[in-house]
Structure formats: C-alpha cells, structure tokens
C-alpha cells in the first residue's frame, strides 16, 4: 500500500528525486573513498615519513569532505521539498475525495478519523519520505560499497562480516516485525483522542450546563493515557534497536582489533589497512543503523498509507450519473415507493413512502419523533440515496441529475443549520456567490431577518463565528432560510426550520414566503401543528410509513395518528377553528 501510494504521488517529482539520488551518489562515493585515502596516508605517508604525500592526499581528503557536506545538505533540501509537496498533494486528494462522500461514508469513517487521516497520517508519510531519501537510498549503497571496499582491504578479515551481518539483520527483523501491529493501534488511539476532543468542544455548553467537566476530563485522560501506554510499548521496542546495533558494533570492533592487531604484529597487515578496515566496518554497521531508522518509521507510515488509501479507495454511495438528464418543465417533487435503511441498522426507517408536492403549494410532513421525516427530506438533495423506489425532481430521477443542477433546483434548510465563519453576506452567498446585496436583503426580508441584520453596526458585513455560534438559534435559522432563498430554488425543503421562531414571526415568514415564491414547491417538516395546519396537503408519517394524507380538516376526520398529534397540542375547539 505504502509503495503504491508513494509511486503514484512521487511521479510528478521525478526530477527532484533524480537530483537527490545523484547528490547522494556523489556524497556516498566520497564517504566510501575517504577510508582508502586514510589508509594510503598512513601506509605511504606517515609510516615512511613522506610529508608531501601526507599533504597531497590530506588535501584531496579535505576537498572530498567539503563535496560530501555540500551534496548532503543539498540532498536534504530537495528531499524535504519533495516530501512537503507530496504531503500537500495527498492532503488535497484526500480532501477532495472526502468532499464526494455522502453522509453514509462520512459516518462510516467518522469525522475525527477523517481529520487524523488528512493531517497526522499524511505527516507520517512525509517524514518517511525524507528518511527514505536521506537514509534508505544512502544506506544500501554505503553498505554494499563498504563491504566491497573492506574485501579489497583484506579478504580474510572480511569473513567476520559473515557472522556480524546475519546477527544484526535477524535482530532488527525481529524488532521491526513487532512494531507493525503496535503502530496500527497507535493511529487508532490518535483517532480516539481527536474524537473525544471534538465531541467535547462541540458539546462544551452541555458539559458546562451539567457541570460534567471532571467526567469529561477523565474521559479525555483515559484516551490520552491509553495513547501514552501504546506509545510507550512502541518506544520500548524501538529503544531496543540502538543498544542492539551498538553491542554488535562494539564486539565487531574488538574482534577486528584483536585479529588485526595480531596480524600487524606478524607483519602480514599494515596499520593503515587495519584502520581503513575498521572505518569500513563502522560504515557498514552505520548503513544498517540508518536503514533501521527508516525501518522504525516504516511500520507506522505503512499503517498510515493503508488508512489514507482506504479513504481514497472508498467510492461515494451517491454516484453521479454518467450522462446527466435535464430537469423536466414541472417544478414539483415526487417520491415513489421509497424505502431506506441506515448502514448497520437492523430495520429500515422508511417503508414504501410515496408523496407528491406541487409547485405553488405547501406540502407539510408531520409525524412523531423518529418517524423518518428528516431522513425523507435528505433523500431529495441526495445526502443519501433511497434503497428502493425513486425521488423525482421536476420529473427527473435525482440519481440522473447533475449535482449542480440538483443543488440549484432543491434548497434544503436543515434541522440544525450550520453557518460558516465569515460574514453574514459570505454565508448568504454560499450557494449563489453572484447574488447582489439587494437580493440578499430581499431574502433576509422574507426570512424575517432584515431587522436583525439592520440593527447590527456592520450590517451584511457583520462577522459570523464558526458554526454561527455568535448568533441566537432563531437568528441562525432565519439566516439559513435566507441563504436558501438567495439561490432561488424551485423546491424549498424546510426541516423543522421554524422551531426557534415565535408564532407571530413564523406566521409573517410563511406569508412572505408564499407571496415571494408563488411558483415554488414548498415542503415543510414541523412539530408544531400551527406550522402545518394551513398547508395545502399534509402527509402523516408514522414509523417510516405514510399513514395519512390530506388537508387539516380531512385528516382530522380520517387519521387517528394526526388527530392524536393535533390534540396533544390544541384543544378540540382550537383544532376545529
Ligand atoms: N445517521 C443515522 N444512522 C442511523 N440511524 C439514524 C440516523 N439518523 C437517524 N436515524 C434513525 O432513523 C430514524 C428516523 O430519524 P429521523 O431523523 O428521520 O426522524 P424525524 O422524524 O426527523 O425525527 P425528529 O422529528 O425527532 O427530527 C430514527 O429512529 C433515528 O434513530
């Protein structure tokens, strides 16, 4: 998974990568050649007392060291740039793919996990990329080169490598193989911390109102400590790496000095050759160590790549049509035999639901809590797709409509409207950036929000905090209604959108809406009977089924469920009035 992701995302940076590889090659060649020159200085300069040879070769060594430094620095610069660019591309792709998700996919991953995957997981891969460029490429070349050059210095002493290398590789493999599962578990713990944090910040007012600060703190501490425990377990295994390599390195050096020392004594090995051999041995073990550093990071990056790829490979359950059909001339809404079940739920929440809402008419949907009203409305702009049956907008199945056309035709004011950080104007123009100030004021007037906005010193430019947290619930609802009206949709869906308005404001709003949007299809979900009794048609939902349909008077006669709802809010006289 990691390789697949890296191959795909590094392709555009082939030039930078080639530069990094070339620079690494020069740097490593210099590193590899230096011990040979060192042996030469000792054997042919220092021992015979040839100062000229020492100065000449020493000069070459100095130049090589400078080249090595410049190349290493430049390679790190290019590696870091490439890794940053890769991170940006990955984040952009994950973000734009998540944008295509329906509520179903977002629910499957969870918002917190999607945020971790777009940020923390991408950073892990970036870090690995820098490591791969600076260490993983250099390490094998340096390792193999050092082995060859060590062999060239002295074959019999090189036999020692036959013992040292297998020991080292086995130890490293054992350690790294235990890190994989722990890394996966660590990323899940990071997800959990984000989830708890997000939930607590969103529900801050509830936490304060119920004085549950301590409970929330302990919930966060549990998630935090859990992450710490996994990090420590991972850290303990990682910590084994360095001592293992150091012990092997020290024992090998002692062995080289022991055997080499005897051979220098015998006169079968020159002191310079022994020092060069020791340097190559150190370089070989350093190469293994460098590769290991990358290995330490790779299990976590592998897990992160898997998590990112999982998001990228998940198709949206709301598929755009191959060829979009144009909306028909009629602006109405038809829902036919629709059934829907939430993912993972045992039972469907909608069964065989049909209704028709005509242009210029108001259709109301009523029903007890949890009867499926919101779910039904969400099928119209395709926040979900129905499992059975179809939803037609202006005569065309919504699944055959282009996303933009559908969005321009259907305006949904959600039950809990969300405002973005910015200004009132930027929020109102969210669906129609071209709208003039005049159009904004008109929409505000219909939504009964004109007075409130006028009273603000900055008017349309008044700031709105994230989520609309600096306006009241009723003001937020009215701004959300105005935002939909600015797009002038043929079908307006109001999901319990009047709940925070007082009865007089609601009546004014409904009147203004009827006048302003005389040819619009209006569908209203409401809990208050007063909000629906004047509707042209009222559809009664009960446990996801249509159990009645008609005007208020017809339903009072025909529908037991409707009568129960009405009489729970009004007296017999009020209901009949
Ligand atoms: N995302 C979801 N995943 C699983 N089940 C859900 C989800 N959203 C809603 N439900 C369930 O579907 C049923 C219908 O919910 P829905 O929100 O459509 O009801 P409603 O009639 O709009 O209720 P209310 O009047 O309280 O807003 C409920 O039983 C609810 O628990």
* Residue located nearest, by CA, to atom 23 of ligand 1: 370
Atom of ligand 1 nearest to the CA of 527: 25
492 three-class SS: strand
End-to-end alpha-carbon separation of the chain, Å? 68
The string of pLDDT tens digits covering residues 92-109 is 999 999 988 888 888 888
Q: Which atom of ligand 1 is nearest to the CA of 415?
A: 27
Distance 369 CA to ligand 1 centre (A): 8
Q: How remote is the CA of residue 375 from the centroid of ligand 1, in Å?
A: 6
Indicate the length of the chain as a whole number. Answer: 577
> What average pLDDT does the segment 231-255 reach?
85
Q: What is the mean pLDDT of residues 463-473?
A: 80
Q: How confident is the model at residue 565 (pLDDT cuts 50, 70, 90)?
A: confident
Give the distance (Å) from ligand 1 centre to CA of residue 486.
Answer: 28
Instruction: Flag the least confident range among 71-80, 81-90, 161-170.
Output: 161-170
- What integer pLDDT is reported at residue 143 of this predicted model? 84
| Spacing, Cα 372 to ligand 1 middle (Å) | 6
Is residue 52 classed as helix, strand or coil in its secondary structure?
A: helix
- From the CA of 371, how far away is ligand 1's center (Å)? 7
Lowest mean pLDDT among 303-312, 345-354, 400-409, 565-574: 565-574
- Look at 166-175, 214-223, 292-301, 498-507 and tell me which has the smallest mean pLDDT: 292-301
Cα of 107 from ligand 1 centre, angstroms: 14
Q: Which atom of ligand 1 is nearest to the CA of 345?
A: 4
429, pLDDT greater than 90: yes
Atom 2, ligand 1: which residue's CA is nearest? 342
- Please choose from 346, 367, 375 the residue to mutate so as to test ligand 1's pocket, defined by most ligand atoms within 8 A of CB: 375
Question: Could you read off the pLDDT of 245-292 as tens digits, one per residue?
Answer: 788 888 888 888 888 888 888 888 888 888 888 888 888 877 877 777
DSSP helix/strand/coil, 102:
coil
Ligand 1 pocket test: pick from 105, 342, 540 the residue with the most ligand atoms within 8 Å of its Cβ.
Answer: 342
Q: Is the pLDDT of residue 575 over 70?
A: no
Question: Residues of 381-416 as b/e, b for ≥16 C-beta within 10 angstroms?
Answer: bbbbbbeebbbbbbebebbbbeeebbbbbbbbbbbe
Q: Higher model confidence: residue 81 or residue 177?
A: 81
30 alpha carbon – ligand 1 mean position (Å): 68
Distance 472 CA to ligand 1 centre (A): 25
Cα 408 to middle of ligand 1, angstroms: 26
Q: What are phi and psi of 41, to 5 degrees?
A: -60, -45
Distance 547 CA to ligand 1 centre (A): 18
Q: What percentage of residues in the chain have a pLDDT greater than 70? A: 97
pLDDT band at 529 (very low <50, low <70, confident <90, very high): confident
**Which mutation among 351, 353, 373, 416 tests ligand 1's pocket best, with the greatest number of atoms within 8 A of CB?**
373
CA distance 511 to 527: 19
pLDDT band for position 486 (cuts 50, 70, 90): very high
Residue 164's pLDDT band (cuts 50, 70, 90): confident
CATH code for residues 2-313: 1.20.1560.10
Helix axes 213-266, 271-313, angle to 10 degrees: 150
Where in the chain are the domains?
A: 2-313, 333-417+491-576
Q: Does domain 333-417+491-576 have CATH number 3.40.50.300?
A: yes
Q: Are 461 and 379 in contact (CB under 8 A)?
A: no
Instruction: Give residue ranges with CB within 6 A of ligand 1.
Output: 107, 342, 345, 349, 367, 369-375, 415
* The two three-digit tokens of residue 288, written as one number: 């293994």
Which residue puts its alpha carbon closest to atom 6 of ligand 1? 342
Nearest-CA residue for ligand 1 atom 16 is 372
**Which residue puts its alpha carbon closest to atom 29 of ligand 1?**
370
């Amino acid at each position: 998974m990691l390789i697949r992701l890296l191959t795909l995302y590094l392709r555009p940076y082939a030039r930078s990568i080639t530069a990094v590889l070339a620079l690494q090659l020069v740097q490593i060649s210099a590193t590899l050649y230096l011990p040979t020159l060192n042996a030469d200085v000792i054997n042919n300069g220092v021992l015979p007392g040839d100062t000229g040879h020492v100065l000449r070769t020493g000069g070459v060594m100095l130049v090589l060291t400078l080249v090595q430094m410049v190349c290493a620095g430049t390679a790190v610069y290019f590696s870091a740039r490439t890794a940053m660019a890769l991170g940006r591309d990955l984040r952009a792709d994950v973000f734009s793919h998540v944008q295509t998700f329906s509520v179903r996919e977002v629910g499957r991953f969870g918002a917190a996990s999607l945020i971790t995957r777009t940020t923390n997981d991408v950073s892990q891969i970036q870090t690995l990329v820098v490591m791969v460029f600076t260490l993983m490429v250099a390490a094998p070349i340096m390792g193999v080169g050092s082995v060859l050059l060590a062999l060239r210095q002295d074959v019999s002493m090189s036999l020692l490598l036959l013992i040292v290398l297998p020991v080292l590789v086995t130890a490293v493999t054992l350690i790294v193989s235990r890190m994989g599962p722990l890394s996966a578990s660590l990323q899940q713990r990071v997800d959990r911390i984000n989830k708890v944090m997000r939930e607590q910040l969103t529900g801050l007012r509830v936490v304060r109102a119920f004085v549950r600060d301590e409970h929330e703190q302990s919930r966060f501490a549990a998630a935090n400590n859990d992450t710490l425990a996994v990090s420590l377990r991972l850290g303990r295994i990682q910590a084994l790496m360095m001592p293992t390599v150091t012990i092997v390195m020290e024992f090998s050096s002692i062995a080289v000095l022991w055997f080499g020392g005897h051979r220098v004594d015998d006169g079968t090995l020159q002191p310079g050759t022994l020092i060069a051999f020791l340097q190559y041995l150190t370089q070989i073990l350093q190469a293994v160590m460098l590769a290991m550093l990358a290995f330490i990071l790779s299990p976590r990056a592998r897990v992160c790549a898997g998590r990112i790829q999982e998001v990228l490979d998940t198709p949206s359950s709301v598929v755009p049509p191959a060829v979009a059909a144009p909306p028909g001339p009629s602006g109405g809404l038809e829902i036919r035999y629709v059934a829907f079940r939430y993912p993972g739920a045992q039972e469907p929440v909608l069964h065989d639901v049909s209704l028709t809402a005509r242009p210029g008419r108001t259709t109301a949907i009523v029903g007890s809590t949890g009867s499926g009203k919101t779910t039904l409305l969400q099928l119209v702009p395709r926040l979900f797709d129905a499992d059975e049956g179809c939803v037609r907008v202006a005569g065309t199945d919504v699944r055959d409509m282009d996303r933009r056309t559908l969005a321009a035709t259907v305006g949904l004011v959600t039950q809990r409207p969300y405002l973005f950080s910015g200004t009132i104007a930027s929020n109102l123009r969210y669906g129609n950036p071209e709208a003039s100030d005049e159009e904004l004021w008109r929409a505000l007037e219909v939504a009964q929000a004109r007075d409130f906005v006028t009273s603000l010193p900055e008017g349309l430019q008044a700031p709105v905090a994230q989520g609309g947290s600096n306006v009241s619930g009723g003001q937020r609802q009215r701004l959300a209604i105005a935002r939909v009206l600015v797009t002038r949709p043929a079908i307006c869906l109001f999901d319990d959108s009047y709940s925070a308005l007082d009865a007089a404001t609601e009546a004014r709003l409904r009147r203004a809406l009827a006048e302003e949007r005389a040819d619009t299809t209006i569908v209203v979900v409401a809990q208050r009977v007063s909000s629906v009794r004047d509707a042209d048609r009222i559809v009664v939902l009960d446990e996801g089924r249509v159990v009645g349909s008609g005007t208020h008077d017809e339903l009072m006669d025909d529908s037991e469920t409707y009568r129960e709802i009405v009489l729970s809010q009004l007296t017999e006289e009020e209901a009949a009035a």
